[in-house]
Structure 1
Amino acid sequence: MVLRQFIQKHVKWILPIFLFIFLLFFAWRRSVIMPVFLHCQETEIIKNKSLDVRKPTDKKEAELVILVWVYPFGDKFPLDICETAYGITGCKLTADRQLYNVADGVVIHHYDIMYNKNSLPQTPRPHYQRWVWFNLEPPLIIQNLHFLDNLFNLTMTFRQDSDVYIPYGRIEAVKEPQNITIPPKSKLVAWVVSKWYPGTPRIKYYEELKKYISVDIYGKEHLKLSRTDFYNTISRYKFYLAFENSIYKDYITEKIWSNAFGTWSVPVVLGTSRKNYERFIPGDAFIHVDDFPSAKELADFLLELDKDDERYRKYFNWRHRHKVTLNGGWASSYCKACRVLKQQTEYQVIPSVEKWFLGNSSF
């Protein structure tokens, strides 16, 4: 009875107080509870990847997350330069394996996993994720390709028919003809060898060639040569033996791109066929061992060129209208992989990388 009289007497004050308390409670609930709920909801969406909400307010192109499964040969490189260095947008490179479940692509460098199948990702692959097989080595070097059956979606190699083509170098036309200056030459033939594989074609050929012409060899167990002295030393030679350790389709490495062209020495190549070389390099920019019936006849030809400056200079004529561009490094390769993944949306799987790499190598 007393409570009823109190309410009737003060009703005009009680209702506003209750309304004020209710509004305070509603405001508190909206500012504290709802953000937590929304955060949990967004986290779950990202985990399931049913929607791309990594940047829910960003209306620009969708960003792909590319996981660097292992740094090639342990060589770390910047992960944030796809756009600034190469103009490739919408790519986020990461080496954080905790992001495996949200990565759009995983690039796996074969050399670093080839001895242990368990070094591949062992957790189930998200349905949207694609794996890229990355390899710049020839069959002589790599092993255990059978590890890869039915696992990879794209290839990234030096072969032009790869999904992601990563050449060691390339020749590009220039807009205006260039004046060139050939460094002074005082020596004849040089060869820099990092790995000596007895019995390989290049070693056999050298053993025959040295009978007829002097070759200065630099590298392990031979003449010492530091990186800082490389250009000044090799540029003094007229010819450089750009001998590959493997004869394989499109396998044209730094031996010609940087070692020979970079020092302005005329490359003498041993590797894939002249026809294959000429798909990427002007035919008058190099000398191929296959152009001669024997090593003796090659030696005789080099000795003739040594005495004929006019004929020798013709091997540099291509430089008036072309330039050499080297591979941009590890970061460039991974950024290119991201660009291809953005463009190539159709699903594919490679049943046997081994069959593709070893069985489709005509040149």
Structure 2
Amino acid sequence: MQFLHISSSRERTMTMLHWTSIRSWIRGACTFTLKGCKIPCCFYGLVLTCTIMVGLFALSRELMTSKSETKKIVLIARALNYSSRSHPRDNVLENPKIILLYAKTRYQPVMDELSTLRGCPEVNCRMTTNQSYLQRSSAVMFAALFLKLKTPPQRYKDQVWILHNHESPRTSWVGKRSIWLQSWKNVFNWTIDYRNDSDIPAPYGVLQARNHTIDKDYSAIFKRKKGTIAWMVSNCKTESKRMDYVKELKKYVQVDVYGACGNHKCPRSDGPACFEMLSAKYKFYLSFENAFCKDYVTEKFFLYYGLNFILITRGGADYTKHAENNTYINAMDFKSAEQLAVFIKQLANNETKYTAYLKRKDKYKPVYEEYIRKKDDVIVWRSHRLEAQAMCEACKRLWDVDKYRKQYDDITAWFDKGICYATPIM
């Protein structure tokens, strides 16, 4: 490394200066001794002077070596930091596989420089949203919801093109984005999606068994709760017609609706505090999806699973693949909203059965990632996903790309054919 070479030259120069100084000092000492002393005195004076000089020289060498080693350590640390920061120039220590987010999601940050992967910063891959890296990128990723180009960009040799999706293919945007154009149908090699059958699944979250039990006063938690059901929602018109279902449910049981679709308010920017309040006050919380689609279980389930209430789900996924029975309530297990209300009221009035749900639920912890957006250092928006592991898997595949070669002849045939379901009758 150039810096280390300069350091070695400087060390040799300083060594020569030290020897020059020492020789001058010895000559001066001996001259003084010969003029002022008898020969034995001069001899012992010379020996003493030389001994001192040798000791000082050894000490100076040790100090110089120590400084040199310190410089080496600082240099290596800077190189590692530079590599992690990854300036747009070539990396100092490596030649990474670059993953370009050509059309990114709303929650993914802007990355003008090369950035390490969130879930595995040590791997030899980097991410960026800077399209000037297109030619050098090993993978180019396009978020389906935000892809609005009539024709694909230029494609370079051996690139892997990935369709990234985190939303249900609802009719509100189906057919209105690039992937439904003929020019885009056969360009993709891999998919990253919340669906289990995607090439690289990226669910909104997962539940993991805890290594230890949680110590809570479940009886006190139950007795503090004065409300029955809470729901925070801002999208009032959805294909799942969840507002209609809640309107019917409210005929039989208390449901307090927070946000843009209800009469109760709690600032979205203050999300954690809001849900701590809801968790303390209410016994149940609605986790209703905006569409009935295969494997579509969003952050509404994973984000609130760990709080001190019981989730009531409603969606098109098989929730038994995600959570243990009797840790949540699935509205789809009941023939009507009225039957669901009857069950909720029975459970709400039985401390033993209600707290049994909480105890079983607390055997698991939800795992997800939080992405935030700030304005003037104030959080105005939060999003929760679990895609760090998926990006690590993409990196692993890029280093063994021949093993995973694939191409979709018609991406729309995979993306939206038979994936979503008609809204069930209440």
Matches within 5 A, 1:1-363: 63-73=96-106, 75-76=108-109, 80-82=115-117, 85-87=119-121, 89-113=123-147, 116-118=148-150, 121-123=152-154, 125-140=155-170, 141-144=172-175, 145-147=179-181, 148-180=184-216, 183=221, 184-197=224-237, 200-222=240-262, 223-226=264-267, 227-228=269-270, 229-235=273-279, 236-258=281-303, 260-273=304-317, 276-327=318-369, 329=371, 332=388, 334-345=391-402, 346-359=404-417, 361=419
Q: Deviations over 1:73-115 (max 9, x none)?
A: 27525652327x53550111122211111100011111111xx
Closer/same/farther in 2, CA of residues 314 and 341 from structure 1, 3 Å limit: farther
Q: CA deviation at 1:362?
A: 8.1
Q: CA deviation at 1:294?
A: 1.4
Q: CA deviation at 1:265?
A: 1.9
CA contact (8 A) 2:110 2:129 kept: no
CA contact (8 A) 1:248 1:272 kept: yes
Q: CA deviation at 1:216?
A: 0.7
CA contact (8 A) 2:240 2:289 kept: no
Unpaired segments of 5 or more residues in structure 1? 1-53
Closer/same/farther in 2, CA of residues 361 and 221 from structure 1, 3 Å limit: closer
Q: How many corresponding residue pairs?
A: 299
Q: Deviations over 1:281-305 (max 9, x none)?
A: 1122110112222111111111111
Distance (Å, rounded) in 2 between the aligned partners of 1:194 and 1:87? 35
Closer/same/farther in 2, CA of residues 262 and 343 from structure 1, 3 Å limit: farther
Distance (Å, rounded) in 2 between the aligned partners of 1:176 and 1:310? 22
Identity %: 26
Q: What SS does the corresponding residue of 2:135 show, helix, strand or coil? A: helix
Distance (Å, rounded) in 1 between the aligned partners of 2:257 and 2:207? 27
RMSD value over aligned CA atoms? 2.6
Closer/same/farther in 2, CA of residues 343 and 208 from structure 1, 3 Å limit: farther
Closer/same/farther in 2, CA of residues 181 and 165 from structure 1, 3 Å limit: farther
Q: 2:320 is matched by which residue type in structure 1?
A: E
Q: 1:243 is matched by which residue type in structure 2?
A: F
In the alignment, which residue of structure 2 is the partner of 1:23?
A: none
Higher relative contact order (CA 8 A, sep 6+): 1
Q: What SS does the corresponding residue of 1:310 show, helix, strand or coil? A: helix
- TM-score between the two structures when normalised by the length of structure 2: 0.64
CA contact (8 A) 2:140 2:159 kept: yes
- TM-score between the two structures when normalised by the length of structure 1: 0.74
Closer/same/farther in 2, CA of residues 138 and 337 from structure 1, 3 Å limit: same
Q: CA deviation at 1:201?
A: 3.3
Q: CA deviation at 1:359?
A: 2.4
In the alignment, which residue of structure 1 is the partner of 2:67?
A: none
Q: What SS does the corresponding residue of 2:290 show, helix, strand or coil? A: coil
Unpaired segments of 5 or more residues in structure 2? 1-89, 372-384, 422-426
Closer/same/farther in 2, CA of residues 300 and 344 from structure 1, 3 Å limit: farther
Distance (Å, rounded) in 2 between the aligned partners of 1:340 and 1:135? 19
Q: Deviations over 1:222-260 (max 9, x none)?
A: 2221232322322121101111011111100111111x3
Distance (Å, rounded) in 2 between the aligned partners of 1:362 and 1:245? 11
CA contact (8 A) 1:178 1:319 kept: no
Distance (Å, rounded) in 1 between the aligned partners of 2:401 and 2:285? 40
Distance (Å, rounded) in 2 between the aligned partners of 1:311 and 1:207? 27
Q: 1:303 is matched by which residue type in structure 2?
A: K
Closer/same/farther in 2, CA of residues 242 and 101 from structure 1, 3 Å limit: same
CA contact (8 A) 2:301 2:311 kept: yes
CA contact (8 A) 1:164 1:337 kept: yes
